[in-house]
Structure 1
């Protein structure tokens, strides 16, 4: 039996029931290759240790089926996107929800964490791509350009570029700092399902439903390879850790490709069906697939897989003898390498992006994590003395070692720290303009690893300086807002409410208008028909804002106007014309006509947004019912 097992190249590791309903997505932790996250139609996100049958923890919070999931680089956070367009980020060490992000109008189709900062990219079937700062709610940038659903996102190893693959047959490369397209690749003849950056060189791979893989030179922006031979759509790609070859997970097989010249080194039969994700750990390739409510994991012994040499002649290598890499070293790369700084191990990384307990509690008071296996959870996510990510990976490797045909390979050692690029000179405090309801944009320094001037781990003073670098900007913004509110307050005290609203509107700052309306909403007796003519145009902007608090304030004001003034407006417009001249009545009639026009426009906005899924859709459905009498208006 042992002799037979030594000739085995691939085998199924396990199959288990992952969710109570259909599994819709999954992802492997690429750093360790030992963690798996799954999402399902039961609206749950489950965390697993590969080669363990029991769920480590289950994350709750989504109200709609989960469409995509992803670990961050250190595998201490998990993000999940749902059918409703909402995104939730969990802290696995604290076993609690870290942030809820709202902004997409349709299914979240892909997620990717930035390799260095607290940033997250998301894409949707609504064709949009958004870049989020996990430390705050609003997105910092939106990338427009695709005409169909975006299916895959990947950050470049140096953290400066973002690649996106879409159903519109194209691959786009975005400059994160400038927020624009660098180039577009158009050689695929069907939807592009996946993009993957080479780990060191300026090279990008894309896999498509046209059953081909294209390789793109990112210096010359030209196609340098077209790898074909897959019998089905290409769904997942992975460069080998040293970048010498490319693995493609096809239907029931693993293909190993080389390029320049294009060739297939090996084809390994694996019974994994439609594999969904790949990872490499200790010279083993791990593949995971899902069908209905179950998940299966498979292993391929890469020591027995050909990763160089000539092309496969008849599709499958028949020789079962171990094949090793060539003795001669690889030549000089054909293209430049990424200028990528490397972070050093430091306990300070555990504090990056963390918020206070009160902020976390305010974010979501509902239970967000159910720990099913306490021992595994503590071992993986709450080690007592672990301050470096690789130490946790080593524990996983020792405690959950995969069965190999031969002796297991020793755990990989952490790479020696590279020279870290010196930090940029301190920038001057940036004043936030009054139109700050738009995304704030990006700070290049946020996309680099956190280090001190000598390239080592931060000491306490440096860490405090990094944590407080955004405080000055926030203070400038809040001081400006305070001065504007003081101006509105003085106008209110000196004149009247209408003049105060006029002043707030002239500032062209929705946050000021929200503050004033929040006061007026608590005092319905202050409202007059004159105020309605001023507030209704602002409500239009608030209802279409990306900020939930603005939408809530606008809907509250609209409900108040409908409740207290619609009967007056409707009766005035339906009344028979008066005989003679009545200036007061004419003025009232003019104001009612103006209000009715605004309300009709708002009615259309509400109807268009009432079909949304989730909390926002419920709010607009309620408004739609309240505004039903407007459909019969003159």
Structure 2
């Protein structure tokens, strides 16, 4: 009689070199458990298929180390936050950058996708939580309340709440539609590293560096139970899909817990060190850990995890695997989340009509998105994972098979499975990587016609929020094609008004140009100011700024009041021109102005000196007036924020 082969409960799948420098973050796709995203100090985000040695795709664009990454539920989008505070969203199926979001002033430590709406939440070391609408590239809301870095964010299964965990030892629950904090859960005595919602009930779990896991009732807002004695800081927890237990990735072990009452069902030894993320697929738990530039993946067979240590009196149930057990009917369930019947995935290009959204995208965002790319490293694996799927089967069938376990007594198999694979050195050539596009297998799907352009809101400015935004979009019948007359009418709408505006501007510029040809720059600027049209002043300053030698002290007295108006303009091009002109004035004339004003009074009458002194006093007064405005805007983020900070430093001598 042959001896049956006993397989392992847990084993290592593989170890790969994930980045050219240290790995700083990683995440597993929760739907398949097969997709892995890693972020590194090399400023890249790399995608991998679990148990395959080669990188599928490398995403570039960040200019500082990637601090956090997150995949959306259908595994079609990925978001990454960097040390500089910038956030980028990539469309994995189209292999291209989708959005660049700017607004945080420090490291982005945590990210999460909304389960139904097209939103991303981000938590930062600047203590702020921001909610972003990735369709309109705008910040919907900023949640302030934490006093230290926000380490983890999770949306509730129904998409109505957001839970946050931070280094200030607190867990907070936020109401998305009301835009305010619902409750703060105290109790942890160390930084809180992770929070997870129960998949069905109003229950929240939080793990902390104080080596405890706490369970919170979201109806009564009180602690349900507390599990103590973890072997180290709690960094990763995951509820079983049916909600029967909680898995905790501890140092070199997996622990399985219940919470009513609190107890440990099982402990599985896994040599994974500090595991960073967990996912479940096909009764297998996948865990991933990283050390320096290496990433390791491990598997735990959940069918072999039993209820040892439980308080149940039934010895048969105690020996059953957790995956085969039924919920205890004696425990009353809490309120169940009400989920919509459908879900949203990728952002749809929609047209918005609110006045706050009729603004042009900033050129800095455009530049960031041009410089961000998705480079396909392995076309075969890319096509296998991201080829077009139908609504019934999101992933190819062969990817849904469980990972085979190596025999316990076959050491060679285990060693071969965990053999490192230098994936960064293997790059298959893919044509036309400079212009990221779908592979040839995907180009057969025609692009939708008549797709309206996105009109994003001003960066980081709240753009409004409705409860309906957090529910799946309702499909509306497509509009019939416009007939030629209607189409022409739509095109010509507003044409007459714009024609009048541009004609008037051209006439005013002709007037200024006529004076300019005489060679009197001061009179040209005076005439532009007299027209009382800032657009003409901007056009003229854009010319003068190109030749610093044209600037004179008497020109400054005329231009400085106009610069103050430009710096307060809602148009980015006006602000940019104002900053450039002010910088030229400060560099060329501020030392001269301060020296003349500090000089002792002259003996006798010197008309030219008195005129120069009068101009310097006038310029100094105008610069003092502008300095307050510059100081107030120096805290802005993005390119204009850095320009105002530079101007603020140049104007320090005014104080």
TM-score by length of 2: 0.73
> Equivalent residue for 1:224?
224
Instruction: Tell me the SS of whatever aligns to 1:70.
Output: strand
In the alignment, structure 1 residue 446 sits paired with structure 2 residue 469: yes
Deviation (angstroms), 1:435 = 11
Quick check: 2:542–2:577 contact (8 Å CA) kept in 1?
Answer: no
> Equivalent residue for 1:460?
478
Quick check: 2:306–2:319 contact (8 Å CA) kept in 1?
Answer: no
**Alpha carbons of 1:530 and 1:113: their partners in 2 closer, same or farther (altered >3 Å)?**
same
In the alignment, structure 1 residue 403 sits paired with structure 2 residue 404: yes
Distance, in Å, in 2 between the alignment partners of 1:210 and 1:65 is 28
**Alpha carbons of 1:570 and 1:137: their partners in 2 closer, same or farther (altered >3 Å)?**
farther
Distance, in Å, in 1 between the alignment partners of 2:350 and 2:73 is 16
Quick check: 2:119–2:134 contact (8 Å CA) kept in 1?
Answer: yes
Quick check: 2:12–2:299 contact (8 Å CA) kept in 1?
Answer: yes
> Equivalent residue for 2:585?
561
**Alpha carbons of 1:136 and 1:554: their partners in 2 closer, same or farther (altered >3 Å)?**
farther
Distance, in Å, in 1 between the alignment partners of 2:141 and 2:537 is 28
Matches within 5 A, 1:322-333: 325-326=324-325, 330=329, 333=332
> Equivalent residue for 1:533?
561
In the alignment, structure 1 residue 597 sits paired with structure 2 residue 624: yes
Distance, in Å, in 1 between the alignment partners of 2:172 and 2:630 is 38
> Equivalent residue for 2:542?
522
Deviation (angstroms), 1:551 = 6.7
Quick check: 1:285–1:300 contact (8 Å CA) kept in 2?
Answer: yes
Distance, in Å, in 1 between the alignment partners of 2:115 and 2:185 is 24
Distance, in Å, in 2 between the alignment partners of 1:188 and 1:71 is 28
Deviations 1:485-519 (A, max 9, x none): 99x97998999655777x98xxxxxxxxxx78754
Distance, in Å, in 1 between the alignment partners of 2:5 and 2:64 is 44
**Alpha carbons of 1:322 and 1:157: their partners in 2 closer, same or farther (altered >3 Å)?**
closer
> Equivalent residue for 2:418?
none
> Equivalent residue for 2:297?
297
> Equivalent residue for 1:101?
101
Pick from 372, 377, 387 the counterpart of residue 372 of structure 1. 377
> Equivalent residue for 2:452?
none
Deviations 1:127-161 (A, max 9, x none): 11111111233312111111111100001111111
Quick check: 2:69–2:78 contact (8 Å CA) kept in 1?
Answer: yes
Distance, in Å, in 2 between the alignment partners of 1:437 and 1:499 is 35
Task: Provide the aligned C-alpha RMSD in A.
Answer: 4.4
**Alpha carbons of 1:267 and 1:518: their partners in 2 closer, same or farther (altered >3 Å)?**
farther
Deviations 1:278-326 (A, max 9, x none): 000011110000011100011111111125871599xxxxx99856633
**Alpha carbons of 1:105 and 1:550: their partners in 2 closer, same or farther (altered >3 Å)?**
farther
**Alpha carbons of 1:70 and 1:327: their partners in 2 closer, same or farther (altered >3 Å)?**
closer
> Equivalent residue for 1:135?
135
Quick check: 1:118–1:353 contact (8 Å CA) kept in 2?
Answer: no
**Alpha carbons of 1:8 and 1:272: their partners in 2 closer, same or farther (altered >3 Å)?**
same
Deviation (angstroms), 1:533 = 3.4
Distance, in Å, in 1 between the alignment partners of 2:113 and 2:220 is 27
Deviation (angstroms), 1:633 = 6.0
> Equivalent residue for 2:429?
none
Quick check: 1:304–1:324 contact (8 Å CA) kept in 2?
Answer: no
Deviation (angstroms), 1:594 = 1.7
Deviation (angstroms), 1:93 = 1.2
Quick check: 1:264–1:312 contact (8 Å CA) kept in 2?
Answer: no
Q: Which moved more, 1:550-559 or 1:49-58?
A: 550-559
> Equivalent residue for 1:66?
66
Deviations 1:241-299 (A, max 9, x none): 01111111111111111112111111111111000000000111100000111000111
Distance, in Å, in 1 between the alignment partners of 2:226 and 2:540 is 64
Distance, in Å, in 2 between the alignment partners of 1:396 and 1:119 is 28
In the alignment, structure 1 residue 337 sits paired with structure 2 residue 336: yes
Distance, in Å, in 2 between the alignment partners of 1:447 and 1:265 is 37
Deviation (angstroms), 1:590 = 4.5
> Equivalent residue for 2:451?
none
> Equivalent residue for 2:391?
388
The number of residues matched between the two structures is: 555
Distance, in Å, in 1 between the alignment partners of 2:581 and 2:124 is 31
Instruction: Tell me the SS of whatever aligns to 2:325.
Output: coil
Instruction: Tell me the SS of whatever aligns to 1:104.
Output: coil
Matches within 5 A, 1:54-93: 54-93=54-93
Deviation (angstroms), 1:403 = 1.0
Distance, in Å, in 1 between the alignment partners of 2:458 and 2:33 is 45
> Equivalent residue for 1:427?
none
Distance, in Å, in 2 between the alignment partners of 1:550 and 1:257 is 60
Rg larger for: 2
Deviations 1:210-234 (A, max 9, x none): 0001111111111111112311000
Structure 1: unaligned runs, 5 residues or longer:
314-318, 407-431, 453-457, 465-471, 505-514
Instruction: Tell me the SS of whatever aligns to 1:460.
Output: coil
